[in-house]
Amino acid sequence: MPDAKGFGGRKRPRSDDAVSLADIVDGLMREQVFSRGMPVAQLASRWPEIVGERLAGETAPAVFEDGVLTVEVSSGPWGAQAKFLHEEIRRKADEALGGERVRRVRVVVRNPR
């Protein structure tokens, strides 16, 4: 059976030994399988606090990679608003992630019309 996309081959043979869920999650985080999505999850949980209630209803953090936070917006006008506020969004998102991480905010329209 082929390996799942994005996962390397099995490093060790299967074992019948019990393994705690915490050990499994720790291993996955070390391999960065899930850790890439953790900053976005952190931002999503605090998004109304970061951008305000009204803008949070029309935007969402989508991807955080190489210091660039991609924010999805519901329409062009909301995109213009998010672009206008990009530096404030960058600063507050950076604070929410602990500082020195978010260098730039990229705004994309989720469903262009």
d(CA 77, CA 68): 22
Using the predicted structure, report yes or no on whether residue 1 has a pLDDT greater than 70.
no
d(CA 102, CA 96): 10
> Domains of the chain by range and CATH?
36-109 (3.30.300.180)
d(CA 41, CA 43): 5
Instruction: Render pLDDT for 14-53 as a digit per residue (tens, 0 to 9).
Output: 778 888 888 777 766 665 545 556 888 899 999 999 999 9
Instruction: Render pLDDT for 61-99 as a digit per residue (tens, 0 to 9).
Output: 999 999 999 999 999 999 999 999 999 999 999 999 998
Of residues 44 and 13, more confidence is placed in 44
Using the predicted structure, report yes or no on whether residue 3 has a pLDDT greater than 50.
no
Give the pLDDT band of residue 104 (cuts 50, 70, 90): very high
